[in-house]
Amino acid sequence: MKERLEILAKKFNDIFPDNKNEMRFFAAPGRVNFIGEHIDYCGGYVFPAALTLDNVVAIKANGTDTMRLAATDLEGIYQFDLKNIDAAKELEWGNYQAGTAKELLKNGYNLVGCDCLFDGIIPFGSGLSSSASIELASAISFASMGNPLKDPSEFNLVDFAVFGQKAENNFCNVNCGIMDQFASAMGKKDNAILLNCETLEYRYIPLKLNGYKVVLGNTCAKRSLAEVKYNERRSEVDKAFEILSAHLSGRPNLCSFSPSEFEEHKGKIEDPVIRKRAEHVIYENARVIQSTKLLEANDIEGFGRIMIEANNSIRNLYEVTGIALDTMVDEALKIKGTLAARMTGAGFGGCTVNIVKEDYVDEFIKTVGDNYEKTTGITPKFYVCEIGNGAREVFM
């Protein structure tokens, strides 16, 4: 990290040479979700973990009411006025930051104009929540600069996660759930988070992988359908909830129905597509609870089997995978050392999450990569990942 921050500081001073104020650094990670896909917006349980892939921002106060933003992989400076944040919706880049700033101001945080340089090592479009990472890095850095007497570790990061979600929902018009922002805010090294997305109750569960590694497989496929299908699925599960609620009233969300209740009442859902969507959501919620119990019992093999079941459900019942993800998973499961393989994220491209025996990681990457490329014509990328901490200040 020290070398990265030194390089970032030099680039910052090249972009903002006239700013002589104190420079600080803040980081927020991307996330991987091990199980519980497409149910965070249905009030279900999810099981994400923060990655050591992150966004880092170098930041200085600039003595104005203007936030000036730059990124190490973009040309130019993008800016917005803290007194007219809504105008930032027209920015080519920077609306995640602007939306987060708006939520902070709405909730009583003092903000000051700053110069900011963002450096992300989360592959864009990979389904590892680079947007949530930007939102949380913005939240903790903007709040820290505007409230300099407060230690960043004292901020309520659950609140910041909610602010990030609201920024994406209300400012960026992406109807996402809370999981991505929560994992980026609250991640803990070597632990995953069992999160109730309805209540935001959570607890950490150690990831004891016993000789296995987490390997992410980036399909590098263009995710052209992801946003359209995401909104389509949300409307489908809303319809399923409406139908089931007519027979079992007083429930807060679709995940509050048990598998046995679904089996008893599924005939009321006449549309077979809506019925499949509901089946995935309700059974997936049960799988999350089951899988974490297996992990706590140190049954890593059982945990892997549940992950594979979850992928079959998201593939066949929820139908948000596609050729690229299906090929990556199918090829992964052919490797002897693969315990589990599953899509992660919104779908239609992005990444798979794989649990692979340490001795087989190199073979996994080469063989799966070669076979995937032969089938799809796309060269994939792989990341052997560690589980890291959430949003925080970092130092040289």
Let me know if 180 is a catalytic residue.
Answer: yes
Residue corresponding to tokens 């359209």:
228
Cα 275 to Cα 240, 245, 262, 270, 367, distances in angstroms: 7, 14, 9, 7, 37
Per-residue model confidence as pLDDT tens for the chain (396 residues): 899 999 999 999 999 999 999 999 999 999 999 999 999 999 999 999 999 999 999 999 999 999 999 999 999 999 999 999 999 998 999 999 999 999 999 999 999 999 999 999 998 878 888 999 999 999 999 999 999 878 888 899 999 999 999 999 999 988 788 999 999 999 999 999 999 999 999 999 999 898 999 999 999 998 765 667 888 999 999 999 999 999 998 999 999 999 999 999 999 999 999 999 999 999 999 999 999 999 999 999 999 999 999 999 999 999 999 999 999 999 999 999 999 999 998 888 899 999 999 999 999 999 999 999 999 999 999 999 999 999 999 998
First to last CA, the chain: 7
Nearest to 176 by CA among 160, 161, 154: 161
**What DSSP state is assigned to residue 170?**
I
Q: Which fold has domain 2-206+389-394?
A: Ribosomal Protein S5; domain 2 (3.30.230)
Q: Which of 218, 140, 233 is nearest to 383 (CA)?
A: 218
122: helix, strand or coil: coil
Catalytic residue (one of 73, 119, 180, 330): 180
Q: CA 362 from chain center: how many Å?
A: 26
- 3 state SS of 328: helix
CB 259 within 8 A of CB 286: yes
Going by C-alpha positions, the residue among 352, 56, 58 that lies closest to residue 217 is 352
User: Residues in the chain, how many?
Assistant: 396
